[in-house]
Amino acid sequence: MKEELFVSGRNIPGIDPSLAIWHWEIPLYLFLGGLAAGILFFAGLFKIMGKEKEMPAAVKWTPIVVPFALVIGLAALFLDLKHQLYFWRLYTTIRIESPMSWGAWTLLFVTPLSIVWVAVYIKDVFPNWRWPLKFIDKLVNALRPNMNYLAWIMMILAVILGTYTGILLSAFNARPLWNTGILGPLFLISGMSTAAASIILFSKKGKERKTFIKINLGLLLAELVTIVHLFMGYQAGSQSKLDAANLFIKGDFTHFWLYDVGFGMLIPALIYMLLLKFEKIPYMIAPILVLIGGLLFRIVMLDAGQISGFVY
């Protein structure tokens, strides 16, 4: 038996008895960041593949969500800061070792780029759209034939953004639940999965929808396999990793398996499989479950990660 207590009566808000410095703002941002990264990736990919006409939801419609997602995500990040007036300090330095610095700089480039992307295609989505200033119209028309270059830059930045949302957490070796190399790829896959789900919701073409149902199904299966790997890694790890995994196996987070894995991954994967065979099932349910599951996954990982730590 081991009992530890603070003689000095230490009870610092947000740190004792267990760490709770980050609240809803961070998982919301991680979700929106991953979603935005995935949507931009698919938009860029299908643009480069020359499938602008076959995949209008992926290339033109869904990206409209991205600037809103990023702005809401950035607002959440800003709200989380405790010394807000100094936020500009992020941009007076580049810290190679700090994932947060990488993320801040990536967002600085991705956000305007996503707005440019939406601006170029906005007339295809809303035919009555008129720019208030003529030069914007000219600029947008000049950019249009060069969108493949933009697509390449956007895809690279999207992968950095999507992976960074996971690496941000995995870089903290003090939190054994997060401190695993597989968290970056897992968050990227999960972000891509939520993006594919939102494209399914936007898609009006049966063929495009079917393609993304297949993509989302593949991503969900990849995510499930990665989660199995994640927990195998914990189970083969040191005491701190075992303790972290136990939060999910017998601790306060066993609901993860029901809500996140069950309703967020397994059930939508099953519905997608059925959708590929029978077209009459309503197609909206599964992608909505994937989106809710993606958000819940980040909330649970964040809360549980802050509880995990080293015992000494």
Kindly give, in sequence order, each residue whose CB lies less than 8 Å from that of residue 19, ignoring residues fewer than 6 positions away. Answer: 175, 306, 307, 309
CB 203 within 8 A of CB 159: no
Taking the least distance from each CB to other proteins, the nearer of 174 and 232 is 174
Token pair 């993320």 is found at: 103
By the rule CB under 8 A, 108 interacts with other proteins: no
Q: Could you give the string, one character per residue 29-68, with x where binding to other proteins holds by CB under 8 A and - elsewhere?
A: ----------------------------------------
Residue 148 to residues 2, 155, 198, 208, 278, Cα–Cα distance (Å): 61, 10, 23, 20, 36
Q: Write down the least CB distance from residue 154 to other proteins, Å.
A: 23
Q: Could you give the string, one character per residue 117-156, with x where binding to other proteins holds by CB under 8 A and - elsewhere?
A: ----------------------------------------
Reported as half-sphere exposure (CB side, CA atoms, 13 A), residue 224 has a value of 18
Candidate list 24, 68, 93, 270; residue touching other proteins; CB under 8 A: 93
Closest CA to 68 of 76, 58, 57, 56: 76
Candidate list 101, 123, 231, 263; residue touching other proteins; CB under 8 A: 101
DSSP state of 84: G
By the rule CB under 8 A, 87 interacts with other proteins: yes
* 100 alpha carbon, distance to own chain's centre: 15
Candidate ranges 67-75, 168-176, 196-204, 279-287; the one touching other proteins (CB under 8 A): 168-176
By the rule CB under 8 A, 109 interacts with other proteins: no
By the rule CB under 8 A, 10 interacts with other proteins: yes
By the rule CB under 8 A, 15 interacts with other proteins: yes
